[in-house]
Amino acid sequence: MTADSTYTKVMQGLLLIDKPSGWTSFDAVNYVRRLVASVEGKKPKNCKVGHSGTLDPLATGLLVLLVGKEYTRRAGELTKLDKTYEVTMKLGETSTTADGEGEKTIVSDKQPALTEIEQLLQQFTGDLMQTPPIYSAMKVGGVRAYKLAREGKPVAMEARPATIYSNTLTSYNYPYVRFTSSVGSGTYIRSLVEDIGKQLGTGAYMSDLRRTTVGKYSIENAEIIENLDASSIADKLESL
């Protein structure tokens, strides 16, 4: 595929990516932006590529990228979509980041009964108030919370409304609980896991997370990002 202006209109659309662990959402955006630039014959800084909602670096799964000005300006429509996650929760410890990256603290060796876990997964559904993790992209006084936390500054996070449609247990092999969670926009799975751990009296942190749906878009239709190249990316774009 040669880089010429005939591809300018083609490079508009949605790109469904299966984000690997260790990549930030910004890493994925930059990778795709470079491909778009090579196709359009532009510098990467002149190509519009964005995303519809971040995934934590350790998380994997569906990341919806928006390519081209006509799509990046509509990012707000997609950030409000419902999402589904496959969650692994580790009991017995807490983490400063609420996931596997943080410093761990042992809380309890209590092994909750399966029925107790099922009841709590059901309890944490519906409309509820949730406090975002301090290591999050939420802004506090105009500054990202994670930046303040990394600098050792106090971070006061306020509870905010969240909607959790369902939590379905898939397996329990102490200390690991695996479940599927269907949630509304703005819900933090790390906070959900921490709240469940507190109720159980064991402490808990999110040890693994995979996003499988964003609205009508599914991980089944996502591309492995490392498999994309300049000769294929235009064919993978979808219309909104």
Catalytic sites, residue numbers: 56
Tokens representing 196 are: 């469940």
Cα gap 52→28, rounded to integer Å: 12
Cα 40 → chain centroid: 29
Cα gap 162→182, rounded to integer Å: 12
In 3D space, the residue among 165, 159, 138 whose CA is nearest the CA of residue 82 turns out to be: 165
In 3D space, the residue among 51, 122, 121, 50 whose CA is nearest the CA of residue 81 turns out to be: 51
In 3D space, the residue among 233, 236, 231 whose CA is nearest the CA of residue 217 turns out to be: 236
